[in-house]
Amino acid sequence: MKVTLLLLLSILTLSSCSSKEHSNTETVEHADAAVSESLPENTIRTVMDEQVEFQFGEKTDPEELGLYRSLSIIVGDSVVLTFRDEFYEFEGERFKLDETHKFNTRQGTFYRVELNNRPEPPVHWFFQYSDNQIEYVGEINPLDLKYIGDADMDGKIEVSGYQDYCQETYIGESDKQDFCAEYFASFEVSDTVERVSYSYGVASILKEHGYLPSPVLEDPFVFGDFYGDGIQDTALIATIGDEHKLLVVDYQSDTALINIVEDGGETIQTTDFSWVGVFKAIPAGDTLFSNYTDDWRSLSDVPEDERVVLTYDALFVHMAEACGGGFIFWKDEKWNWLQQE
């Protein structure tokens, strides 16, 4: 049975964002975004969808970081907003209309633009589009982003992360187990940007119970239906004190549970996931197998009864640049492991 830690909140599922490609563009850079270069590449970069066009101008970085001095936002045929910040450059090359930069909610569409603040975490600007108008909402300054989304589907964007980079070297130099917790912050974005001590964003909920998203993973959250109930869940590597746990937030029809991925050492022989450098979801239908028993083997060498094909999603964890990792999946009312060296 599931190892249930806490009963959290009433919620259905995480929202997802999608948009159509712009019909008049030539180069598609992302499934949700199209990019056209109407002027020389070193002068301007344009990213657009069917609603808004973001035009980054005055490329100004000799280190080729993709930084631009100005930003113009166009709705229809009119430039409605123009910015040229005195202190920061816009991260034009990093701006893509994906699930971390564009959010469709019942209050309209929100866009997030990053500004260069190296060596500190970036500054984040937010814009809201509704009824053929776009407005600047506000900024978060600075934040190493770990979670962003409208988890409770209230039309507000929940944003969580660290206000300074909290790396292993810093953690090792600190005598305080909650060193990183001092830098963790949560915000809600609607028609304003407000810092909150508690929100329904999953990162803030975890913090209320002593967990923080891993500060050393670039993306500590992955999403998928990990229990096969047709509802999208959230998995993450989280810290509590100096421990790194693998958690799954199991969203059900009327509640959500935090479950710890462990089974007493029968198949998953660790409760410490501090070694994980690669963390992602494996889609339903992919073949899961162990590529090492007494020796290396490919899928063609694996007997049929040792192959696993699920109708729902699984997890994959691995060391960043070394052997060691595996598939983790829920089956027969327990978590299971298949080695992947």
Task: State residue 174's pLDDT score.
Answer: 54
Task: State residue 273's pLDDT score.
Answer: 85
Q: What pTM was computed for the model?
A: 0.62
What residue ranges of the chain have pLDDT lower than 50?
1-41, 169-172, 264-266
Task: State residue 53's pLDDT score.
Answer: 96
Task: State residue 323's pLDDT score.
Answer: 79
**Which residues sit opposite 328 in a β-bridge?**
315, 337
Amino acid at 184: F
| SS (HEC) of 266-306 | CCCCCCCCCCCCEEEEECCCCEECCCECCCECCHHHCCHHH
Task: State residue 326's pLDDT score.
Answer: 87
Structure tokens at 88: 């920061």
Domain ranges of the chain: 44-144, 212-340
Task: State residue 203's pLDDT score.
Answer: 65
User: Nearest to residue 132, comparing CAs of 175, 85, 75, 82?
Assistant: 75
- Residue 155 to residue 274: CA distance in whole angstroms: 34
Task: State residue 265's pLDDT score.
Answer: 45
- Residue 288 to residue 306: CA distance in whole angstroms: 9
